Structure 1
Amino acid sequence: MGAVIMHNVMSVDGFIADEQDDVGPLHDWYFSGDTPITGGDDPEFDHSGSGSGFRVSKASAAYVRPMWDSIGVIVMGRRFFDLVNGWEGRPPVGDHVVVVSHRPKPEGWHPEASYHFVDGLSAAVDKAQHLAGDRVVSVAAGEVGGQMLAAGLIDEVAIDVVPVVFGSGKRYFGGIDGQHFLEDPHEVVQGERVLHLRYKVRR
């Protein structure tokens, strides 16, 4: 089975969004470079309003492309799903999405989309790994990601650190309790206005 990797973009003081769930400048680096992440421009996921799709520095593209290509399934919490309306049934990466939720999929919501609503952390990871096969399961950081790390369900932590201080907001690791140790980073890539880090979880 593929690795289960917790991932998100984070401010230097540990936040993935402000108190209103606004990511602010955290994603600016996705649109400030000259190298497309995907093979061609993809305006479907262009949040900059420029119509140019994802364009990052060459260093970031070399890091992000293989990571995105490796992902088979995204795992997210219900709050995140509701905020983005599940990307209208078209996840930015991977072929499937598993939503950790006590509530079922909204009635009539994109029946063609491979979205699975699962009650429970372990059950969500089991479902995601079954769907992903040998590919990576990407867990969105935040409350659900932090809970999965605390439960021993995460293999790696990937953080794209942006040089901005939020002061308060939604934490990368959510409200996780206790100490949890990571190995030294096995990948460190300096992009433009972003630092890419990957850590294996110490067992």
Structure 2
Amino acid sequence: MQKPALNKSSLSHLERQRSMYQRYLPALEMKQRLLLTQRKQTGQRLATLRQRINEQQATIGRDLPMMADEDIALTGLVEVEDVEIVQENLVGVSLPALGNVRISRHSCPLLVQPHWVDQAQDQLAAAMQLEVERRVLERRLTLLDDAVRLITQRINLFSRVMIPELERHMKRIDLHLSDQERAAVVRAKLAKQKLARTEARP
């Protein structure tokens, strides 16, 4: 910031600037609190979802161990056809939210289809749904992390840099103006004394 002139006009300008920053700061802090709350909730949802994915994988391993047989072709049994991503606006930050997920199941000939394929399709479809949800939540969390970091930088800029710097300049101007006032009073007294001495001479 350029050093301001040491006068009342400059002091008044700095006071208006500080007042504007101090009014803006609570709005930033409120936005930060909302983003932090949303980030915490998203992190909890993601942790819960990852736990569900782990449990679901354990269920597949327990109930359908035959899926590990590489001689049985399971590719193409289920496929994600469409994923709807809805954009939510949270205090100016655009966040993705999962809408509808369309997963299609492809049948294979009954004569070559093992009896457990229907169950495998159910489990694979559920796993795909969870995987799509995980990716969307991870993207959402990344965007929230970025938004929180940016808003925190702005708050720090105002509260730790700009406002204190304005106050330092204001203090310097106040001190300069006070010194000028005192000097003017002293000069006025000296001038009055000199005038009194001049008038007292015959």
Q: Which category of TM-score, normalised to the shorter sequence, fits these structures?
A: under 0.3
Report the structure, 1 or 2, having the larger helix content: 2
TM-score by length of 2: 0.17
TM-score by length of 1: 0.17
Greater radius of gyration (CA): 2
